[in-house]
Structure 1
């Protein structure tokens, strides 16, 4: 009779386990890509609704908004390290579907950031031409990101344009999401966003430079790469202060227990000299955020006083603060304006009244 050998339990090798894990990852990624290809509107819609929900929660002073904002940051590492990750994944997954999948991931993350940010930018936009243009540009970029023929023809197929578009999305993400998710003050979020944008352009400049084949194209590309961050810095005062919104703002002559008196739209020079004027605001900000703001008083377009105040994220009613002005020119008549500004000059609210 043949000798019976003892049975041994087979133990899968580490390489076999790794192959199983990568096979599962491939199947999952393929299913996600197929889902987004079948329903291309799904991610932009979900991102926009998440932005609206987070914006509403911020206006109510809910800390839950921070956790929703963190979801918008999940894809940020990919956005910042896309070039390196792309090359690594192309080596790890040498398939004809890999470049298509990588482009879809990048485009989807851009859609997520832009559509998440839109409600915050729209809610913070004041009657200022620069703020209207900035918010409109974000809306245009969001529109381009969801129209595949336009995106692929004018953005994805041109490395230089793709680099600038991707850098702009990273700038918007840092500008809008960091104050909400990480409690970064606006005067720090804006320079940080610009630094990230500049670093991103430098990291991707080599690949984009090869796309610029003619001397004229390289001159134009170099000018665009240099001027884009510089223009954003010089025009920073026209960027909407995303995350801050005024729920109540008026000019009055009395405040009791942080409750303003009657609203003034027109006041006599004698009454103004006798009792002065108070610019009162209630500001909603992300929970835990501490921020310095400034009341800028102007008469007939001439800036007079700049008074600082401290605010912080609070409950449903917002943080209530005011600026009282008692010293006025000998002739105070004319059109007065009180601008509520961030340290970088971003307009939060504008109050007006007339002195007769």
Structure 2
């Protein structure tokens, strides 16, 4: 009978000879994870726990290898551990990728963040890049590791712990920055009293800088299923009226507009979002909405705006954002000048019959 260790080593050897196979398996696994989250969130929680445990194992790598050798008398090869690390990176990035591809606004800075995930996923499957360029660079490798964990936590925390997008972003960012400490420590000289204060200062500056870019991070757990602008709402059916993308200023002031949205969120998640109205790029109003997750078609809700600027002509947007300013989606419309009503025809002067 083949021992588990021998089977694992043979599996590793096979995958090392066929690196493309691992890339395919990781991508298929990521898509399967995405489908499972969509259809049965209890399975998504299992996937989330598995990924978190795998990261915990990586953090305790040396200690666990020593315990295994002492307990079972088996010394795990560094190649096995190195390969396992690559496999976890691939699984994490390809697990996260479908979520971010589904919610990214490509005309926004979010495209840069999702593009970075795609780049890291490609690096993780190209052995010459991963092992010869990335792995030897200790500082860069730690940052890569922290980034992969960051994107996974953005998905895991709302599903597993029902944290809001803003809470998940803050927790994931704090975890990633703390994991980056070895990278920051490596660039500072040892033996100086100011090393720890400077390290804390760098840590604070890094956290503040990344938080300023938080709007570029797509809220992976939320998805905008529908957004419509209309003059009326069917309250019984919870459906908007005719969609509007262009109207004149008089109609806008007289009837106002409803902004209808359907936002999908994980079951059990309670989230606060905002409808932000912008006129020619400038914010003029922000209306709060509370949504609840679990509905397949998304949580349907709407806000109404009737108070518009006197001069409302121009380009408008309604952005749907989280508390941490992460963009969920948007809709645009334009307002034209009021149409002048035609003057009434002059009545002829009465004439006396002669």
Which category describes the TM-score, using the shorter chain as reference length?
0.7 to 0.9
Residue 340 of structure 2 aligns with which residue? none
Shift of residue 225 of structure 1? Answer: 6.9
2:138 to 159, 163, 168: 159
Matched, 1:351 2:331: yes
Rounded Cα–Cα distance in structure 2 between residues aligned with 1:130 and 1:212: 36
2:164 to 179, 185, 188: 185
2:301 to 298, 316, 321: 321
| Structure-2 change in CA distance of 1:231 and 1:46 (3 Å) | farther
Equivalent residue runs for 1:1-356 within 5 Å: 24-56=3-35, 62=39, 64-68=40-44, 70-80=46-56, 82-89=58-65, 92-93=68-69, 98-202=77-181, 204-205=182-183, 209=186, 228-256=206-234, 257=236, 258-356=238-336
Uncovered stretches (5+) of structure 2, i.e. residues with no partner:
337-354
- Match of 1:306, SS state, is strand
Choose 254-263 or 73-82, whichever is displaced more: 73-82
**Per-residue CA shift, 1:91-111, capped at 9, x if unaligned?**
744988611111111110010
Do the aligned residues in 1 keep the contact of 2:154 with 2:221 (CA within 8 Å)? no
Do the aligned residues in 2 keep the contact of 1:160 with 1:211 (CA within 8 Å)? no
| Structure-2 change in CA distance of 1:228 and 1:102 (3 Å) | farther
| Structure-2 change in CA distance of 1:38 and 1:225 (3 Å) | farther
Choose 32-41 or 241-250, whichever is displaced more: 32-41
Shift of residue 24 of structure 1? Answer: 3.5
Residue 346 of structure 2 aligns with which residue? none
Shift of residue 278 of structure 1? Answer: 0.9
CA-based RMSD of the aligned residues comes to 3.0
| Structure-2 change in CA distance of 1:264 and 1:83 (3 Å) | closer
Rounded Cα–Cα distance in structure 2 between residues aligned with 1:212 and 1:99: 28
Rounded Cα–Cα distance in structure 1 between residues aligned with 2:37 and 2:49: 17
Larger RCO (CA within 8 A; separation ≥ 6): 1
| Structure-2 change in CA distance of 1:128 and 1:66 (3 Å) | farther
TM-score, normalized by length of structure 1?
A: 0.82
Rounded Cα–Cα distance in structure 2 between residues aligned with 1:48 and 1:227: 35
Do the aligned residues in 2 keep the contact of 1:86 with 1:102 (CA within 8 Å)? no
| Structure-2 change in CA distance of 1:246 and 1:313 (3 Å) | same
Give the number of aligned pairs: 325
**Per-residue CA shift, 1:275-312, capped at 9, x if unaligned?**
10011111122222211110001111111111110112
